[in-house]
Amino acid sequence: MDHPIVEPNMYAIKAMLILDGDGNRLIAKYYDETFPLVKEQKTFERNLFNKTSKGSGEIILIDGLTCVYKSNVDLFFYVIGSNKVNELLLTQTLTCLYESVQKVLGKCFEKRVFMDNLGSIFLILDEIVDSGIVCETDSRSVIQRASIRTEEQQPLGEQTVAQVLLSAKEQLKWSLLK
């Protein structure tokens, strides 16, 4: 039985998603016509969330697509490719996305802070993947190329009073949790 030779394809990523703890879309970037209608996308996202929200795995095959995922507190990160794409590439892309968002949000890794930094998160996605082609998998380079100032980089004198209070509150919370 002859199997057709599959040519390598630079268009490895079909979608990148970030959903909240209830499975609602926070960010969804689809790079091809696999799900051309928003209704189809939302149905896929709901199905994906239902299968992954209680699981402890990191990879799932759903609707003929390979999906790698990671969650933290109330955010779920997904990178989706075809069933022929190398899972390591998907995993590296997911790790870069997750670490980059983590650097922007700092220790306050929750939906409210995520929404406050939505512009930076969109820049991160655009730096990692362009039209389905993976451009970068190093989170430090992504943050640098997107010119995003992380919490650690901002001098105390340039922070607003609200930022200083939020930072102090987070440090106190983490010290109490230890």
**Tens digits of residue pLDDT in 43-84:** 999 999 999 988 777 999 998 999 999 988 789 999 999 988
Domain extent, residue 73, equals 13-153
**11-26 pLDDT, tens digit each:** 789 999 999 999 999 9
Give pLDDT, residue 11. Answer: 73
Three-state SS at 2? coil
Rounded alpha-carbon distances, angstroms, from residue 52 to 23, 131, 149:
10, 26, 32
Q: Which amino acid is at 110?
A: E
In a domain, 8, yes or no: no
In a domain, 1, yes or no: no
In a domain, 171, yes or no: no
Q: Residue 87, Cβ neighbours under 10 Å: how many?
A: 13
In a domain, 32, yes or no: yes
In a domain, 17, yes or no: yes
pTM over 0.85: no
In a domain, 58, yes or no: yes
CATH number at residue 23: 3.30.450.60
Residue 150 has pLDDT above 60, yes or no: no
The number of distinct structural domains making up the chain is 1
Question: What residues contact 102, with CB distance under 8 A and at least 6 apart?
Answer: 72, 109
Give pLDDT, residue 55. Answer: 74
Residue pair 163/153 in contact by the 8 Å Cβ criterion: no
In a domain, 48, yes or no: yes
In a domain, 168, yes or no: no
As beta bridge partners, residue 81 has: 13, 66
